[in-house]
Structure 1
Amino acid sequence: MSLPNMKYSLYITLILFVFNLNVTNAQQGTVEIYEDDKITELLRLKTMLSKENKLSDGFTIQLYYGELKQANTIIKDYQKSRALWKATIEYETPNYKVWVGNFVTRLEADRALLEIQKEFPNAFVFRPDRRN
């Protein structure tokens, strides 16, 4: 090996040694995160409200509007059928409503309506006022 090549090789070795020394002596530390219990509670509440679709301006299908006894019969009949979407009974003085599903888009609601109308021909899609 010639002298210039040895110098070059020595420089490369020295640079790699210094670089390796800097990498191995890098600072290390830990990060601690403190979370308020209220954040956990708020996330749980938001998840619950999202599942019940209380936070969106989506669409719902109404199967019935009237007396409680008939509303209970309708919801039981719905649940005995294929019941792909959650059904609830909502109260609006002095009547009860049977609502099915929480759909983000009108298209989703219309597709579900086609299935539901096979057994509940008077069902219709609407956008409920959820400000209450």
Structure 2
Amino acid sequence: MKSILSTFVVLLLFWGNVLAQKPAPVSEYGQLPAGDTTGVWTELNIHQNPKTEELLERQIRLNKNRQTTPGYRVQIYFGSGSSARIKAMKVKTDFLSSYPEVKAYIIYQSPDFKVRVGDFRTRSEALRLQKKMTRDYPNAFIVPDEIQFPDLYSNSSSEN
């Protein structure tokens, strides 16, 4: 009985606090009460280590010089051995004759030569090309890679 009574008293005290809360009027611009600027910061001071600024500037410089971005490509060949380079060049040439609109790259990662095609930002874009060329390259697969930035304007729009 005492626990029920003490629980009731505690709930009664909380209920009084709940009723004491009154919402502030809201202006049309958001959460600030209309016409009331008390408690609003008019100045913001940031105190930080000077090394932080140096690191930020360094990162900005690195990003400006960066020529690639993370993305996906479709790998259509990989091989090693004495004739792997020649075979990779042949695969690239054959691919470009069938798909001239897609860029192809020969990559050497010791001891393998690889032929990767396309510059796709998302895996689903790469999957579309992979499905399109399944008949010609049944063993092709999607790999994450650093890709070239896509052209902002196509050649047809620059001629207008």
After TM superposition, the score normalised by the length of structure 2 is: 0.46
Corresponding residue to 1:79 among 96, 100, 108: 96
Question: How many Å separate the matches in 2 of 1:92 and 1:100?
Answer: 16
- Deviation at residue 88 of structure 1 after TM alignment: 0.7
- Deviation at residue 94 of structure 1 after TM alignment: 1.2
The secondary structure found in structure 1 opposite 2:115 is strand
Equivalence for 1:108: 125
Q: Which has the larger share of helix?
A: 1
Question: How many Å separate the matches in 1 of 2:100 and 2:77?
Answer: 15
Contact 2:72 2:145 in 1 (8 A): yes
Residues 39-78 of structure 1, C-alpha deviations (whole Å, 9 max, x = no match): xxx96x55xx2xxxx2x22111001001111101100100
Residues 6-62 of structure 1, C-alpha deviations (whole Å, 9 max, x = no match): xxxxxxxxxxxxxxxxxxxxxxxxxxxxxxxxxxxx96x55xx2xxxx2x2211100
- Deviation at residue 129 of structure 1 after TM alignment: 6.5
Question: How many Å separate the matches in 2 of 1:103 and 1:129?
Answer: 10
Corresponding residue to 2:137 among 107, 120, 128: 120
Alignment RMSD: 2.0
The secondary structure found in structure 1 opposite 2:136 is coil
Question: How many Å separate the matches in 2 of 1:62 and 1:127?
Answer: 10
Question: How many Å separate the matches in 2 of 1:118 and 1:82?
Answer: 13
Structure 1 ranges of 4+ moved more than 3 A = none
Report percent identity of matched pairs. Answer: 32
Question: How many Å separate the matches in 1 of 2:130 and 2:75?
Answer: 10
Residue correspondence of structure 1 range 26-105 to structure 2 within 5 A: 46=66, 49=67, 54=68, 56-66=69-79, 67-105=84-122
- Deviation at residue 102 of structure 1 after TM alignment: 1.2
Question: How many Å separate the matches in 2 of 1:80 and 1:126?
Answer: 22
The secondary structure found in structure 2 opposite 1:75 is helix
Task: Kindly provide the amino acid, as one letter, of the partner of residue 57 in structure 1.
Answer: P
After TM superposition, the score normalised by the length of structure 1 is: 0.55
Question: Is there any run of 5+ residues in structure 1 with no aligned partner, and where?
Answer: 1-41
Aligned length: 81
